[in-house]
Each structure stands twice: as C-alpha cells, then as structure tokens.
Amino acid sequence: MNLALGFVPFILFAVLMRLSTDLALWVAFAAAFTLGMRSFLDTRVLKTLDAGNTALFGLLALYKGFIQPSLSFGALLLAVDGGLLAIILASIVLHEPFTLQYAREQVSQEQWQTPLFLRTNYVITGVWVVALALMTGADAAATLGSLISVTSAMAAGLVALAIALTFSLRYPAYLRERSGPSD
C-alpha cells in the first residue's frame, strides 16, 4: 500500500484544485515533501516518485505564484499530469521503474533481481505510463483543443488513476496465486 502514499500529493491536488489552484499546489508540495522525508528517514532511500512530486509541485507552485499567476486551470492540470508522466517515463529510461522502490519494501532482498520481480514491476510501471498518457491526452484535448471539458478530463484522469492503482495492488497477488505455493 505504500505505492498509494506516493500518489497522495496528486490526489490532494486534484481534490483541492476546485477550491484554489494555489492552495492545491502548495498543499501537494507540502504533502510530497513530508511523505518523501518520512520515507527517506525510514529507509534512507529517496524514492523517485517522492522526489519527482516534490520538485513538480514545488516548481509549479512557485511558477504560478510568482511568474504566471493567471495560469489556467486546464494548463495547470496538463502540467501536473504531464509532469507525472515524465517522472514515470524517466524511471523506465533509467532502468529503475518507480514501482521497484515500493515493491522492494515488501519482499526479501533475494527476490530483488529475479526476472519475475523485475518483469512485474516493469508491467505495473507500464500500466501507470498508459494511465498517465491517457490523463495527459485528455488534459491536452480539453486545454489545447477544447474537444472536451476540463471537468471531463479531470474525471477521466481520476478513473485512469484508480484503475492503475487497483492494478498495481492486485497484479502481484494474482501472480502469486497463479504460481502456486511451490514458488
């Protein structure tokens, strides 16, 4: 369930965004920083998603607060979803899918380099890439092309997020069940 904690800043941002985009950005930044530091103090590992969220929300809060206060709701949503997509894609490019850091906390160190463990994390991270690509695409369709409303894009994004999170939590259990007690 630690993976779900990595998305708390994003969820807070999505919930608070309707009240105030500035408030949503600063609360998301504070949550990302707090969760990242708590995790780092416990494990001495700065997780990719925690560091990425802290940088993303911090930079966007500063940008919107001091450089472009009139940044639209849709453009901000596009920047957040696109930023999260970039963070997760970077983790794959660097051959360290962001889910590995969470999964390693739940299995013995001997399993960390097994092909099944690594493949499972690439699959789960791939599902997140697809979900965030769909979210970013919906945001772009709303913001740049006015093909759908920003509210519809946000709703589609939350559904994609829920599907990716559910898959992340259930897929490893499915694999364990499928392999049986001998593995």
User: What's this model's pTM, rounded to 2 decimal places?
Assistant: 0.91
Summarize the confidence of residues 19-48 as an average pLDDT: 95
- pLDDT tens digit string along 99-140? 999 999 889 999 999 999 999 999 999 999 999 999 999 999
Cβ neighbours for 143, distance < 8 A, ≥ 6 positions apart:
72, 74, 75, 77, 78, 150, 153
Q: What is the pLDDT of residue 181?
A: 62
Provide the 10 A C-beta neighbour count for residue 16: 17
Q: Give the integer Cα–Cα distance in Å for 143 and 127.
A: 24
What mean pLDDT value characterizes the chain? Answer: 93
Helices (H) and strands (E) in the chain, counts: 8, 0
Summarize the confidence of residues 157-162 as an average pLDDT: 90
CA dihedral 55, 56, 60, 62 (to 10 degrees): -10
Q: Give the integer Cα–Cα distance in Å for 116 and 118.
A: 6
Res 180 pLDDT > 60: yes
Q: What is the pLDDT of residue 146?
A: 87
Summarize the confidence of residues 133-162 as an average pLDDT: 92
Domain boundaries, the chain: 2-179
Res 183 pLDDT > 50: no
Cβ neighbours for 165, distance < 8 A, ≥ 6 positions apart:
3, 4, 7
